[in-house]
């Protein structure tokens, strides 16, 4: 995914040392733990195949979606919508009423998922260096009523 951005914007592949530096700089995994966050692991066919993180922002009713990712071997199997719905449920459980996210313009698969799932484009809510599109969704009521992805992507536990 990083190579796609670098090829589009800088006409080169991602240098390994630059990728490592960016991963370390974006070290936000410490915010994806209770009591103000969570990191979900999605499995496909019993194997780890995706992640989605949620963290509360500034003590208010907003949370942010982070690290929604489906491994290449599991793409196209319905895991993205299942992970997104699980992240929304996790945000609600943390007390969030709104879920915010950012993504890159070249990740059409991601932003089209968000738009199909009821997210609306907004003005920027952060200064992330690779963020080019920002979204929000109001989280109302109970669990998200999403299509089932079937047995390979089990919900819950």
57-102 tens-digit pLDDT: 987 799 999 989 888 888 889 999 999 999 999 999 999 999 999 9
pLDDT on residue 53: 92
Q: Which residues of the chain have pLDDT under 70?
A: 1-29, 141-157
pLDDT on residue 33: 87
Residue 139 CA from chain centroid, whole number: 15
pLDDT on residue 24: 47
pTM here is: 0.75
pLDDT on residue 149: 35
Q: Tokens 């966050």 map to which residue? A: 37
- pLDDT averaged over every residue in the chain: 80
Which residues, in sequence order, are bridge partners of residue 103?
133
The secondary structure of 1-44 as a DSSP string is -HHHHHHHHHSSPPPHHHHHHHHHHT--GGGSSTTTEEEEEEEE
pLDDT on residue 31: 84
With beta carbons less than 8 A apart as the criterion, state whether 127 and 102 touch. Answer: no
pLDDT on residue 128: 87
pLDDT on residue 119: 97
pLDDT on residue 130: 84
With beta carbons less than 8 A apart as the criterion, state whether 29 and 39 touch. Answer: yes
């Amino acid at each position: 995914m990083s190579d796609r951005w670098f090829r589009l914007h800088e006409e080169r592949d991602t240098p390994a040392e630059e990728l490592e530096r960016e991963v370390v700089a974006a070290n936000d995994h410490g915010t994806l733990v209770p009591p103000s966050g969570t990191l979900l692991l999605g499995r496909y066919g019993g194997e780890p195949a995706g992640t989605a993180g949620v963290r509360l922002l500034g003590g208010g009713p907003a949370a942010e979606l982070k690290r929604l990712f489906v491994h290449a071997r599991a793409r196209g199997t319905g895991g993205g919508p299942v992970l997104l719905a699980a992240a929304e449920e996790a945000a609600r459980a943390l007390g969030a009423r709104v879920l915010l996210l950012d993504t890159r313009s070249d990740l059409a698969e991601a932003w089209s998922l968000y738009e199909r799932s009821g997210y609306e484009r907004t003005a920027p809510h952060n200064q992330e260096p690779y963020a080019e599109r920002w979204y929000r969704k109001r989280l109302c009521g109970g669990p998200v009523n999403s299509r089932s992805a079937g047995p390979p992507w089990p919900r819950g536990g």
